[in-house]
Structure 1
Amino acid sequence: MKIASWNVNSLNVRLPHLQQWLGQAAPDVVALQETKLEDARFPDDALAALGYRSVFCGQKTYNGVAILSREPAREVQYGIPGFEDTQKRVIAATVGDLRIVNLYVVNGQAVGSEKYEYKLRWLQAVHDWLQEELRAHPRAIVLGDFNIAPDERDVHDPALWHDGHILSSAAERAALQRLCALGLHDAYRALNPEAREFSWWDYRQAGFRRNLGLRIDLTLVSEALRPHCGASGIDREPRTWERPSDHAPAWVELA
C-alpha cells in the first residue's frame, strides 16, 4: 500500500500535475496540503474519474487540506478538537484499517514573532490530540507539510538553517520530537539514515536547480506500522514540470 503527501500549492493551478502524478505513481492514499480552494470548488468529480474518493476542508486563497483514497474514507475529523482556529490545516480519516492524519503545519514566519508563538501553541494542541488518536487508532500515519526540518541532514546548509532560523529552530524541532515521542517514526529517515534529499525548494535563486532545499514533508508511522515500512522516498520529478509546486511528493510503502 502506497501512501503519499504533497503540498500542491494551489490545487486550482496544479490539478493537471496531480492528475498526471496519480496516473504515474498510483498511490492508494494521498494527503494534500495548500489546496487553496473553497469546498464548493474542490475538483471531486475529476479525481473520482481517476478512481479516488475525496474528503476535504478548504478556504479561499490560503491553506486547505484533503485526503484522496481509492476506498472511501470514514470517521472524518476536521480541525484539531478543542482548538479554535479559522485556518483549515488539519483533516483526519480512517481508510481501511489505517488512520490517516494530514497536517499542514503553521509556517511561523520568523523566530520570536506572533506567528511563531502561534505555531508552537498549534503544535502543542496537535500533540495533545494525537495522544488520544494513537490510543484509539494504533495503526496510524501522520503526514503532511510539517514546516520543520528534523535535523541537519534535512537542510542544504546547516550553517544557514541554524537553531535561530524559522523551520529549523530548536523549539520547533523539540515540538516535532515530542510528537515522535508519542510513538511515531519518520519512515523516510528510518529507511534512509544517511540520505540528504529534500522535498521543498524556494522558487527564488534557482533553488531547485542548485538543490538548495529542505526536507519538511514527512511521513510519520506509528509503532504498529513501523515493521511494515518497505520503502519511503521523495519524488522529485513533479518539481521539474512547468509551473510546479515548490514541494515534491513524499511517500511510504507499507507491506
Structure 2
Amino acid sequence: MTDDAWQGMLFGATSAEGETIEDGPVDELRVCALNVNSPNPSRAQRIVNWLLATKSNTLVLTEMQPSEGGRHMLAALQAEGFTTTCPPGWKDVRYFTAVATRGVEAVPVQPAGFDPRIAAVDLTSDATAVRLVGLYGPTNGMTPESSHRRREFQRRFLDYLAEINNSTLCVAGDLNVVEPNHRPHLPAFEDHDYAFYTGLLALGLRDAYRELNPAGGDHSWLNPRFGNQRLDHSLVSAGAGNIRACAYDHTTRSDDLSDHAALLTTIGLCADRAAMNGQGAG
C-alpha cells in the first residue's frame, strides 16, 4: 500500500453488517475514544471489529504505533469507509494519535500539534462543524524525569489549544491525568497534573462524563498496584453541541482488546454549527 493510501480516503464501503454508509446530514457525533495499547495485527483486527459494532462515526485512537499492527488498523478502517488522519511525523515516533471518521469530512488543523501524540482536525458536514483534538498524554512514570516531561508537555499543549481554540472545540483521548477530586486519591499525580485538567476546563471545555454523572465513580484503567484511574476523557465546549451521552465501555478490557475502557460520547449538533465554526478559528 502506498503512503498516500495509508493516510486514508473515503470509500463507498459498507459496515460490518452490510449496511450502506449514510450519505445524509450528520446530526450527531458519536465519538469513541480508545487507548488501543499498541496492538499486533491480530488484536488490531479484533479492535476494528469492535469499533465498527459501536456505530461510532468518529474514532480517537491513542497509543497507536507505526508498527505492523498500527498500520493494519489504519488500513482496515479505511477499507470500512473511514477516513484516517495521522499527525505529521507519525511514522518516526514510538506513539501517535489517529482520528478516523465516517460520514463527516476531516481536515487537519493548521498549525498542527507540536507532537504526533496530538491529532487536530476540523470535522465538517452539512450540519457539523467541530474542532476535534485527539490526545495521548505522556504516561505517569512516577519519577522526577517523568514529572518534568509531563509538565512541559502539558504546558505546551495548553498553549497550543489556546492558539487554535474556537467555539466548537472538543478534546478527547487518554490524557493520562485525573481530576483533582479523583477517588481514590492517587499520590503519584502532582499539582501540575491537576492544573492541566483544570486548565482545560478554563478554556471553556466541559468534562462530558462528569457533566452527566456528577457523582459517578467510573475508572478507565484498573490496576491493583497503582490504583484505579479515570485517565480517558472527553471534553466538549458548549458551542460544539449538546452532550447527549457519555459512558465507559469495559468490554474492551474484558475481551482483552486493550487495558483501557473505551469512552463513548454522543454530541448532538445543530444545523447552524458551520456558521459558528468561523468564530475564533485559527
Instruction: Please tell me the TM-score bracket, short chain as reference.
Output: 0.7 to 0.9
Q: Which moved more, 1:178-187 or 1:37-46?
A: 37-46
Alignment correspondent of 1:34: 63
How far does the alpha carbon of each residue in 1:149-185 deviate from its partner, in whole angstroms, 9 at most, with x for none? Answer: 11344x4x32xx13xx1xx322210122112101111
CA distance in 1, matches of 2:78, 2:196: 37
Match of 2:175 in 1: 146
Q: Secondary structure at the match of 1:232?
A: strand
Aligned letter for 1:73? A
In the aligned structure 2, how far is the partner of 1:69 from the partner of 1:173? Answer: 31
Q: Contact 2:45 / 2:76 at 8 angstroms: preserved in 1?
A: no
Kindly state the Cα deviation for residue 102 of structure 1 after the two structures are TM-superposed.
0.7
Distance 1:35 1:151, change over 3 A: same
Deviation at 1:218, TM superposition (A): 0.2
- C-alpha distance in structure 2 between counterparts of 1:140 and 1:221, whole Å: 6
Measured against aligned partners, the alpha-carbon deviations of 1:201-250 in whole angstroms (never above 9, x if no partner) come to 23x77x9xxxx52111000011313x6111111111111113x3111111
Instruction: Verify: 1:68 aligned to 2:83, yes or no.
Output: no
The answer to whether residue 103 in structure 2 is matched with residue 46 in structure 1 is no
Name the CA shift for 1:22/1:40 in 2 (closer, same or farther; >3 Å): closer
Stretch of structure 1 that moved more, 49-58 or 59-68: 59-68
- Quick one: distance in 1 between partners of 2:171 and 2:99? 12
User: Letter of the aligned partner of 1:248 in structure 2?
Assistant: A
Q: Which one-letter code corresponds to 1:72 in the other structure?
A: E
Is 2:248 the partner of 1:221?
A: no
Which position in structure 1 is the counterpart of 2:4? Answer: none
Report the secondary structure of 1:251's partner residue: strand
Name the counterpart of 1:80: 113
Amino acid at match of 1:177: T
Does 2:266 match 1:235? Answer: no
Q: Give the match's secondary structure for 2:40.
A: helix
Residue deviations 1:113-142 (CA, integer Å, cap 9, x gap): 1221121111111111111211xx311211
- List alignment gaps of at least 5 residues for structure 2: 1-28, 269-282
- 1:252 maps to 2:265: yes
Identity, % of aligned positions:
26
Q: 1:94 offset after TM fit, Å?
A: 1.0
How far the C-alpha of 1:77 sits from its partner, in A, is 5.2
Q: What is the DSSP-based 3-state SS (H/G/I as helix, E as strand, rest coil) of the residue aligned with 2:105?
A: coil
AA aligned opposite 2:85 = V
Count how many residue pairs are aligned between Structure 1 and Structure 2: 231
C-alpha change, 1:110 and 1:40, in structure 2 (3 Å) is closer
Q: Any idea what SS the aligned residue of 2:131 has?
A: strand
- Partner residue in 2 for 1:116: 147
Q: Which one-letter code corresponds to 1:17 in the other structure?
A: R
Match of 1:173 in 2: 194
1:245 alignment partner AA: S
What RMSD over aligned residues (CA atoms) do the two structures have, in Å?
2.4
Q: CA deviation at 1:76?
A: 4.2
